[in-house]
Amino acid sequence: LSPARAAEDSARPLVMAHRGASAYAPENTLAAVDRAAALGVDWVENDVQRTRDGELVVLHDDSLQRTTDVEEVFPDRAPWKVKDFTAAEIARLDAGSWFGPAYAGARVPTLEQFVHRVERHRQKLLLEIKNPRLYPGIERQIVKVLGDEGWLDRRHVRDRLIVQSFSADSVRTVHDLRPAVKTGFLGTPPVADLPAYAAFTDQINPSYGSLTAGYVAAVHAFKGVHGKPLEVCTWTVNDAAAARRVAGFGVDGIITNAPDVVRDAVRG
């Protein structure tokens, strides 16, 4: 690591590139990972879903419509759900042109491809399990891919991987499958419910809009499943003023489309 990357490594709050550096490159593509790396950003967030033939791919929406040219390539396949397309079909799609001509030809990556690229840059992965109700058993599959790619060894598990979801059941399942893996629950549970979440998660990751210093302090007061104070990573903070505000609340991480803007705001 360069001295700058090493310093960033231990600085708080962590700055996490949402869907990659998605203000500057098409979200959830390898180009967005590369852009985060070029900005010196360690943490990359993504969204994982499953194709009809069981491949894990990285895409936010449950439909391919918004971020690919699927309507042109497969005009008769509305509503263009990820789960209704094979991996080979999805691999044909352009996932970059919608963002800008410079990214024409960018692809929807498989989870393997995405993890390889994050590893190549020596970055860290905040992996979101998206819509797990649509994909029974996806937690076990994700754990298998991470294991096959070498991401479940002690070095990765200790400080380079967090698995999160809006589904508490999904987070709990990951914890049960691989108790060593650090996990996060996306949402803002009532403080009274936090002990129940702390039985299977390390982080409570709320939207920043209605976040308060009091809530952050309340979360920090509980110990997470690995015995350390529950952490708070908030999303999606894209301007300097909001970044300073939530940093002032003492959050542990800020998930952002514009990691350079947030870093400048909170380290400046």
Number of Cβ atoms within 10 Å of the Cβ of 251: 28
252 binds, among ligand G3P, Ca ion, none (CB under 5 to 8 A by kind): none
Catalytic residue among 18, 116, 156, 220: 18
Q: Is 60 a catalytic residue?
A: yes
Q: Taking CB positions, which residue lies at the least distance from ligand G3P?
A: 235
* DSSP string for 86-148: -HHHHHTS-SSTTT-GGGTT----BHHHHHHHHHHTT-EEEEEE--GGGSTTHHHHHHHHHHH
For Ca ion, how many residues bind (rule: CB under 5 A)?
2
What is the rounded CA–CA span in Å between residue 40 and residue 59?
Answer: 23
Query: Are 248 and 215 spatial neighbours (Cβ–Cβ below 8 Å)?
Result: no
49 binds, among Ca ion, ligand G3P, none (CB under 5 to 8 A by kind): none
Q: Is residue 182 at the binding interface for ligand G3P, with CB under 6 A as the rule?
A: no
Q: Is residue 128 at the binding interface for ligand G3P, with CB under 6 A as the rule?
A: yes
- Sign of the torsion formed by the C-alpha atoms of 131, 196, 233 and 141: negative
Q: Is residue 260 at the binding interface for ligand G3P, with CB under 6 A as the rule?
A: no
| Of 111, 138, 142, 186, the one binding ligand G3P by CB under 6 A | 186
Query: What is the closest distance, in whole angstroms, from the C-beta atom of residue 88 to Ca ion in the complex?
Result: 25
| Of 31, 32, 35, 47, the one binding ligand G3P by CB under 6 A | 47
Q: Is residue 124 at the binding interface for ligand G3P, with CB under 6 A as the rule?
A: no
* DSSP string for 25-39: S-TTSHHHHHHHHHT
Q: Is 18 a catalytic residue?
A: yes
Q: Is residue 42 at the binding interface for ligand G3P, with CB under 6 A as the rule?
A: no
**Quick check: bond before 236 cis, omega within 30?**
yes
Number of Cβ atoms within 10 Å of the Cβ of 156: 18
Q: Is residue 235 at the binding interface for ligand G3P, with CB under 6 A as the rule?
A: yes
46 binds, among ligand G3P, Ca ion, none (CB under 5 to 8 A by kind): none
Mention every residue, 6+ apart, whose C-beta is less than 8 A from residue 68. 90, 93, 94, 95, 98, 108
Q: Which stretch binds Ca ion (CB under 5 A): 28-36, 40-48, 90-98, 187-195?
A: 40-48
Q: Interface with ligand G3P by CB under 6 A: which residues?
A: 18, 45, 47, 60, 128, 186, 235-236, 255
